[in-house]
Amino acid sequence: MQEKNTKLAIVTGGGSGIGLAITEKFVAHNIRTIIIGRDRQKLDAAKDRLGALCIPVAADLSDLGAIPALVQDITTRYGRIDILVNNAGINLKKPFTEVTDQEFQQILLTNLTAVFALSREVVKQMAHSGSGAIINISSMAAQYGIPKVIAYTASKSAIEGMTKAMAVELSPQGIRVNCIAPGFIATDMSAKALDNDPERKQKVLSRTPMGMLGAPADIGDAALFLAGDAARYITGVVLPVDGGNSIGF
Ligand code: NDP
């Protein structure tokens, strides 16, 4: 069960990249954080690094049918859920006409449908306590058009719409729902998209007024703020954390 004054968070994809940086911030602020991913080794490595407040749970969130029992189990073991960060996501970089229906569905399943299914189950728990903060993770792909990421763009655009709909519907239950739109952040995912494509990387940097990629910790700081009482009157926003990329010339 929860210790007094210790909040409980779930961070999906908390074993690597941006999710790991969010977990690091949460743990440093005494928030007990459950990290979910498919790769148990990655999760265990995160726990070794972050200590007892970091709790790894191996699960494939694209297995929608398993999500209700997963959330029930977390609630039974650890008590109420205060914060959910829907960070897990996958990308597919491929020309528009080469993307198969199956590939498109797979990206939407992980980046969108699983976010809905997990949020629905967590909200049922949050509603009991009359409070909660949910943070979704979008992308620059939902701010302007980026070629060769059609399914990813569809999923992230939908996440922003869902953020607003959830914020409105869940406010009466004391649940705030916000979204972070990271710019180009140095992680494995962005390395895959940029390292073999110098032209794209140059384009990214040239339209980022601050002239550099962000660090995962920059997203961690924003998530910590949106999850906490300092953001108690903020709901339904999409916060770009992007060095100005979304408004860059
Ligand atoms: P990573 O690839 O490092 O992290 C993605 C995480 O999602 C991994 O920990 C992975 O864990 C988890 N994950 C993926 N699929 C599933 C699944 N089916 N079930 C459970 N967990 C899953 O990427 P980033 O840290 O860069 O990305 C994190 C989020 O930030 C994503 O939503 C991404 O779209 C978004 N983003 C990233 C940007 C960037 O520049 N890096 C820019 C804008 C948005 P495992 O492999 O163990 O399953």
Write the CATH number for 81: 3.40.50.720
Which protein residues touch ligand 1 with a CB less than 6 Å away? 12-13, 15-19, 36-39, 42, 60-62, 87-90, 110, 137, 139, 182, 184-185, 187-190
Sign of CA dihedral 84, 28, 15, 154: positive
In a domain, 225, yes or no: yes
The tally of domains found in the chain comes to: 1
Which pLDDT score is estimated for 162?
A: 98
Which pLDDT score is estimated for 234?
A: 98
Q: What is the rounded distance in angstroms from the CA atom of residue 237 to the CA atom of residue 135?
A: 10
Percentage of the chain with pLDDT > 70?
Answer: 98
pLDDT at residue 48 above 60? Answer: yes
* Amino acid residing at 108: L
Which pLDDT score is estimated for 189?
A: 84
In a domain, 198, yes or no: no
Residues in the chain: 249
Structure token digits, residue 134: 């949910």
- The enclosing H or E element of 168 equals helix 150-170
Q: Give the rounded distance of the alpha carbon of 35 from its chain centre.
A: 11
pLDDT at residue 3 above 70? Answer: no
In a domain, 136, yes or no: yes
Structure token digits, residue 87: 């960070």
- The enclosing H or E element of 133 equals strand 132-137
Pairing verdict, β 32-37 and 238-241: unpaired
Which pLDDT score is estimated for 192?
A: 87
In a domain, 14, yes or no: yes
Structure token digits, residue 81: 């859920």
Q: What is the rounded distance in angstroms from the CA atom of residue 57 to the CA atom of residue 203?
A: 38
Dmax over CA atoms of the chain, in Å, equals: 54
The model's pLDDT over 189-238, given as tens digits with 9 standing for 90+, comes to 889 889 889 999 999 999 999 999 999 999 999 999 999 999 999 999 99
Which pLDDT score is estimated for 193?
A: 83
> Which atom of ligand 1 lies closest to the CA of 62?
18
In a domain, 2, yes or no: no
Q: What is the rounded distance in angstroms from the CA atom of residue 213 to the CA atom of residue 242?
A: 8
**Residue 2: pLDDT band with limits 50, 70, 90:** low
> Which atom of ligand 1 lies closest to the CA of 156?
34
Query: Which residues are catalytically annotated?
Result: 152
In a domain, 33, yes or no: yes
Question: Of the residues 42, 90, 136, 239, which should be mutated to test ligand 1's pocket, given the most ligand atoms within 8 Å of the CB?
Answer: 90
Q: What is the rounded distance in angstroms from the CA atom of residue 135 to the CA atom of residue 226?
A: 7
Average pLDDT over residues 169-197: 94
Average pLDDT over residues 173-183: 98
In a domain, 181, yes or no: yes
pTM of the model: 0.97
In a domain, 196, yes or no: no
Nearby residues of 193 by Cβ (< 8 Å), 6 or more positions away: 91, 93, 149, 200
User: Which range of residues forms the domain containing residue 125?
Assistant: 8-185+215-241
Q: 172 alpha carbon to ligand 1 midpoint, in Å?
A: 31
The model's pLDDT over 112-171, given as tens digits with 9 standing for 90+, comes to 999 999 999 999 999 999 999 999 999 999 999 999 999 999 999 999 999 999 999 999
